[in-house]
Each structure stands twice: as C-alpha cells, then as structure tokens.
C-alpha cells in the first residue's frame, strides 16, 4: 500500500498510471463515491507491489532510508543506482518491505449505535481484530447489571475468531455517574452481586474477558477502584478469563479533575492483563474545533503510561470518527456532529473545498459554508493521521491499539493495518 495525497487537477487515471496500479483497484480500496472528482488534499491508499518514493529537493539516499527505516544499501541495490551521491529530483524509488510488528488490535462496539448492523460491522474488519469490547453492561445502584442485546454481535465475533470482552460501566442516563461508582465501590455486598452476575453472563454467552470502564470516579474512589479490580481478578483468572480496564488520558500522576484522579495507572497496571488508554476526545462534540486525537497529546500520554505500566500491557486508543463544528464556536452551544472519515471526504467534495493537514497534530481538517450561509470546521482522520499513530505504536513498542467505535466506515485504516502489522489472534 502507498499513501498518496491528491493535488489539484489530478485524476484517478493520472494517479493509477504513476503507481502502475488501476483505477478500479484504487476505487475499491478507498470506497470512492465519485469516480470523476477528487478533493485536493484527500488521501488515497494505492494498492501496489512494494512501496514508492519520489525524490524531493534536498533529499539523499541516506535521508530517505532514515525516513522509511530501511537500508540505504538495499535502496541502491533495488533501484540499480550507479551514483548514490547524485540522485535526480523526481526519481521514483522502489523501497524494500519493512518487517512487520505483531500486535493485538481491539475495538469497542455498541450494539445500540450500530442498530442491527453489528454483525456487518464486525464481518468487515474481523480479520484485523484480536478482541471485541461490547459496550456496555451498566451496573445500577443495587449492584444489578443492565444487559445489552449482544447475541448477533457475539455470533459474528465467534465467526471471525475475535475474542469478546464484556464491558462493565457506571453508565446512567447517557453519562458516567460518580454516585453509582461510589455506591458500588463502598459496598462489598453490591460488588459481589455485580461480579456474580458478570460471571454468569460471561459463562452463558461465551465472553472471554471483562473490561472495566468506570469513569469519573474522583480522588475518593482511587484506591477503592484498585481493590475492586483485585477482587475481580481473583474470580476471573481462576476461570481463565482476561481482565482489562479503560483509563482516561493522563500525562502525570497528580493530574487534577474528577475524570483523572480515580485512575491510578501504576496500581491498575499491576492488576490487569492490559489497559485501553483513551487517547482521543481532545477535540470533542461540546468543545472547540481541534483534532480528536492530536499526535502530540497522544505521545505525552503514552510516554507517561510506559513510565509506570509495562509496555506489553498498553493498548493505545484511536478514533474511527471526526467532528463537524458550526462556527463561531460558543461554549455550551450547539454540539458538533460526529461522522465517519469517509463521510468527511464526501462533505469536502460536496462543498468543493480543499482538505488541509495540520502537521503538528498530524490530522486533516477543512472549512466550508453550508446552504444557509453558516461556516463549519471539520477535523477527522485519514491515511496520513492513522499512519502517524501506527508509527508511534511501533516506536514505543506497545502491545497494540484499539478503536472507538465500530460502525464508522474508514476502509483505509484496515488496509494500513495489514500493511504495517501482523495481528495476533488468540
């Protein structure tokens, strides 16, 4: 696979010829809705044998080898270069294949969001998943679970050899409840009732692990939460189940805020098999326009995480969505609309605007004016931004990564997983 950024006036035919590919392969790989028009700044994943690089001004064989982390000698050999110290601008180089890292990949899926399309969503990408976290079984104030309609989801996961994880939350009326968490975490009898129901559901339905997603705990519940996880681990491991936790994105131990203070990275890392770090939602529906997962912020969280949690337990979070904000942004005003990366490109095409790329956050964005004269700003993910995140996973040597949330079309992402990694199946 090769990532190509569309320039003004380029056509599918031009691009296919440049890479020795075909328009039909490019259309299929990127699920292009309009075959006759492309958007300047749009990324395409090009199916080719190997990888190409066109020499830019100031580049050398050495700098190109460093960029792609391949051998300079191999570049010279493959391209039969007679004078490596003098390569011409615009020369197309074939690059050697890089070795692939084996990782684990997971994704959250909420059957209520996919609305009967859970099996379809899993079948599309199941070969690229190790785990599927089914969101969510909420616990109520008396310690009982509120179930979710998950049978079609579990059947599809089994078909694609994806291990299902039951997600348990302190979720109530569309948001996480500090009060419910405190009620459960301060009452052993309620914890026992909750865990006994969890074990019964897991045994009946074939779940292979339990993922704790307790959020907005506050500092008072910090140690209580670790004790609950320790209690759960004893029950789960004796039955051969995995235990994991989803944690808020912290950059230091003493980070303030009810979202962060209840999550002790180091203590929880000692208990669970792996952790889903929620490295997304810096740009969120109720906030001001910005990248959902800026690579700079993700790096800060991951560098702190690996300082207190073993790398082999770290799963880095990635978004399968973007946001469309109506301008001017007003705090407490209209929430941004969420949609898939594929829909974002279709929106840029509809309003005939170029897609820009912010190199600091490593994220694409654009602005447009709708039919009512309202201005909008859109941030989303594309092949470049996902590749930057994959590079971070490889650089830091993490266990793997995961997605929130299945159901959003992003075909480039799944092709690039195959290009970069070998996905471990359990």
> Catalytic site residues?
215
Three-class SS of the chain = CEEEECCCCCCHHHHHHHHCCCHHHHHHHHCCCCCCCCCCCCEEEECCCCEEEECCCCCCHHHHHHHHCCCHHHHHHHHCCCCCCCCCCCCEEEECCCCCEEEEEEEEECHHHHCCCHHHHHHHHHHHCCEEEEEEEEECCCCCEECCCCHHHHHHHHHCCCEEEEEEECEECCEECHHHHHHHHCCHHHHHHHHHHHHHHHHHHCCCEEEEECCCCCHHHHHHHHHHHHHHHHHHHCCCCEEEEEECCCCCCCCCCHHHHCCCHHHHHHHCCEEEECCCCCCCCCCCCCCCCCHHHHHHHHHHHHHHCCHHHEEEEEECCEEEEECCCCCCCCCCEEECHHHHHHHHHHCCCCCEEECCCCEEEEEEECCCCCEEEEECCCHHHHHHHHHHHHHHCCCEEEEECCCCCCHHHHHHHHHHEEECCC
């Amino acid at each position: 696979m090769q990532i190509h950024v569309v320039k003004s006036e380029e056509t599918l035919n031009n691009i296919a010829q440049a890479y020795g590919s075909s328009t039909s392969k490019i259309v299929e790989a990127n699920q292009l809705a309009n075959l006759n028009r492309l958007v300047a700044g749009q990324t395409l994943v090009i199916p080719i044998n190997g990888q190409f690089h066109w020499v830019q001004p100031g580049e050398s064989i050495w700098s190109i080898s460093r960029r792609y982390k391949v051998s300079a000698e191999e570049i010279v050999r493959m391209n039969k270069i007679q004078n490596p110290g003098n390569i011409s601008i615009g020369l197309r180089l074939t690059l050697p294949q890089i070795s692939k890292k084996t990782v684990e990949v997971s994704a959250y899926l909420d059957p209520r969001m996919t609305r009967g399309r859970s099996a379809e969503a899993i079948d599309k990408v199941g070969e690229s998943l190790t785990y599927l976290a089914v969101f969510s079984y909420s616990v109520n104030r008396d310690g009982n679970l509120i179930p979710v309609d998950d049978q079609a989801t579990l059947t599809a996961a089994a078909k694609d050899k994806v291990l299902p994880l039951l997600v348990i939350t302190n979720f109530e009326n569309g948001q996480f409840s500090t009060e419910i968490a405190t009620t459960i975490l301060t009452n052993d009898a309620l914890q026992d009732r909750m865990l006994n129901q969890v074990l019964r559901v897991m045994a009946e339905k074939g779940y292979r692990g339990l993922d704790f997603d307790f959020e907005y705990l506050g500092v008072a519940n910090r140690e209580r939460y670790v004790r609950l996880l320790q209690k759960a681990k004893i029950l789960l491991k004796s039955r051969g189940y995995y235990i994991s936790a989803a944690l808020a994105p912290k950059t230091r131990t003493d980070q303030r805020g009810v979202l962060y203070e209840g999550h002790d990275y180091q203590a929880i890392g000692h208990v669970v098999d792996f952790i889903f770090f929620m490295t997304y939602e810096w740009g969120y529906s109720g906030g001001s326009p910005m990248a959902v997962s800026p690579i700079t912020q993700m790096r800060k969280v991951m560098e702190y995480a690996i300082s207190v949690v073993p790398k082999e337990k770290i799963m880095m979070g990635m978004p399968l969505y973007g946001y469309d904000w109506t301008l001017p942004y007003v705090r407490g005003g209209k929430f941004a609309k969420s949609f898939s990366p594929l829909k974002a490109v279709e929106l840029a095409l509809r309003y005939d605007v170029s897609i820009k790329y912010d190199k600091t956050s490593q994220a694409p964005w654009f602005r447009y004016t709708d039919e009512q004269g309202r201005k909008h700003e859109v941030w989303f993910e594309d092949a470049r931004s996902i590749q930057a995140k994959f590079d971070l996973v490889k650089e830091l040597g993490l266990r793997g990564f995961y997605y929130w949330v299945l159901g959003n079309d992003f075909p480039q992402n799944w092709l690039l997983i195959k290009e970069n990694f070998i996905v471990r199946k359990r």
